[in-house]
Chains A and B, each alone.
Chain A
Amino acid sequence: MELVEILGLGFTGFLASFILTYVLSHFLIPILTHRKLTVEDFHKPGKPRIPRPGGPAIITAIAAVEIGFYILLGDPRFLAVAMVSTVGGAIGLLDDFFTFSAITKPAALVAAAVPILLLATYSFRPEVPFFGPLRLSLIYPVLILLAIPITANTVNTIDVLNGAVSGFVAITTGPLLLALALKHDWILFLASIPLLASASAFYLVHRNPSRIFPGDSGCLCYGATYGAIAIVGGVEFVGVVALLPAILNSFFFLSSTKKIVEHREIKVKPVYLGKDHLIRASMDTRAPITLVRLIVAGRSLTENRIVREIHWLAIFASLLAIVTAFATWGFK
């Protein structure tokens, strides 16, 4: 494929995914509001009700463009990414309506990883910075089954405030694109574009004050798609580094609660909204440690400021991911 063709297809895919996400989100807002499918925005005075889930717009946009690429180019890796996104999003959609337990959700998400194995669209030789490819023929298929639930849930845990998750995914997809370009893997480069476009478009309706929330369907779709691109594209380490703020958030949370629990099951909240409408860290030692609690530790901040700081952390982790990509493929 010529570079001009790749750029043309990439631009078209970006526009299609962006417009689909944006238009479908606007289409969903009145429908969800009319059907009273709304949830409280906890960090706003008066706790206004916001329509949720916006996930169907995200799932449709990503899957449609991936399938479009598959029809045009015939590469099964587009199909694998589309299937992982759809299954991950569908599990999230079930969770939005029926509320899975903290164990059922990651267990169900194992199913989202199966298309990668069925279509054999992975290499069991992940490339490590400085050392090149490893040979993990035995353990790698098992790691894939674990990796998709982990990335999906990790991205889901960063959905804490207005615009946090959509902006985070849009920022952290950048290093994946660069790593895939360094590898000259133009198929997966194209497969990453719908994720970037969808997250950027959804940010416009999700940023403060949110007009719609992505819900678990949107977040799990983003996380599963991210994991699928990292695995199928063989850019696992770059993906891990870019997601570091979210990984730290979920790991801090998990290590404080000592077991897998849903956020709604937590009795002592890590942060609270003060009377001055600023968010403060709980000083209760029983409250779990989260990224937001650490950000507001010792000070009180507005929701906008916290989201901006989360995005700064994402930008910094993305820069480190770019350095990791150069340490892996830059000298070839």
Chain B
Amino acid sequence: MPVLGLILVILFTWTLMLGGILVIFTVIVPLPFLIPAFRGTIAIPVLQSVAAALVVLAWLYSILKIRDIYAKRKLWK
């Protein structure tokens, strides 16, 4: 099944997406809730938006790295 390589790329991309969500949301998102002064303020949606942006950026960067590895193996071997 030659398409297996790309299936693995998709699986890896998906795992990174869920892993990124797990890590960043367990670290960044609960932080403002732990500080009583932040409760009910704009800090919570702002920090959550930053967390979401970080997930997307880290994810896109890792996709590029996966692509480079795959292209090196398959296209420029």
Q: Which A residues lie at the B interface, using CB under 8 A? A: 128-131, 134-139, 240-241, 244-245, 248, 251-252, 255, 281, 283, 285, 289, 291, 293-295, 297-299, 309, 312-313, 316-317, 320, 324, 327
Q: CB-defined interface of B52-77 with A at 8 Å, one 1/0 digit per residue?
A: 10000000100110010011001111
Residue of B nearest to A124 (CB): B45
Decide if B70 touches A294 in the complex (CB within 8 Å).
yes
The B interface is mostly helix, strand or loop, or mixed, namely: helix
Docked-complex contact B70 and A316, CB < 8 angstroms? no
The residues of B that contact A283 with a CB separation of less than 8 Å are: 75-76
How far apart sit A244 and B13, CA to CA, in the bound complex (Å)?
8
Are A327 and B10 in touch, CB under 8 angstroms?
Answer: no
Does A320 lie within 8 Å of B11, measured CB to CB? yes
Bound form: Cα–Cα A103–B70 in Å? 29
Instruction: Please indicate the chain B residues that have their CB under 8 angstroms from the CB of A255 in the complex.
Output: 64, 67
B34 to chain A, nearest CB (A): 16
Whether A241 lies near B14 (C-beta < 8 A) is yes
B2 at the interface (CB under 8 A from A): yes
Q: Most chain-A CB neighbours within 10 Å: which of B25, B46, B63, B75?
A: B75
Listed in ascending order, the chain B residues whose CB lies under 8 Å from chain A are 2-3, 6-7, 9-11, 13-14, 17-18, 21-22, 25, 29, 42, 44-46, 48-49, 52, 60, 63-64, 67, 70-71, 74-77
| Inter-subunit contact A293/B75 (CB<8 Å) | yes
Least CB distance, B40 to chain A, in whole angstroms: 12
Q: Contact: B13 with A294, CB < 8 Å?
A: no
Smallest CB separation, B1 vs chain A (Å): 8
State A298–B74 Cα separation when bound (angstroms): 6
- Taking the closest CB of chain A, its distance from the CB of B25, in whole angstroms, is 5
Contact of A134 with B48 at beta-carbon distance under 8 Å, contacts A251-B63, A313-B10, A317-B10 already known: yes
User: Given A128-B25, A248-B63, A136 and B52 touching (CB < 8 A)?
Assistant: yes
B47 to chain A, nearest CB (A): 10
Check if B77 sits within 8 Å of A248, measured CB to CB. Answer: no
Contact assessment for B45 and A138 in the assembled complex, using a CB-CB cutoff below 8 Å: yes
Residues of B within 8 A of A137 (CB): 45
Closest 8 CB pairs of A and B: A297-B74, A139-B49, A309-B3, A320-B14, A297-B75, A135-B45, A316-B7, A244-B10
Q: Contact at B6–A294, with CB atoms within 8 Å?
A: yes
> Given A294-B70, A299-B2, is A134 in contact with B52 using a C-beta cutoff of 8 Å?
yes
Cβ-defined partner of A138 (8 Å) among B13, B46, B64, B74: B46
Residue from the list B21, B67, B74 in contact with A252, Cβ < 8 A: B67
Chain B residues with CB below 8 A from A135, complex form: 44-45, 48
Residue in B2, B29, B67, B75 whose CB lies within 8 Å of A281: B75
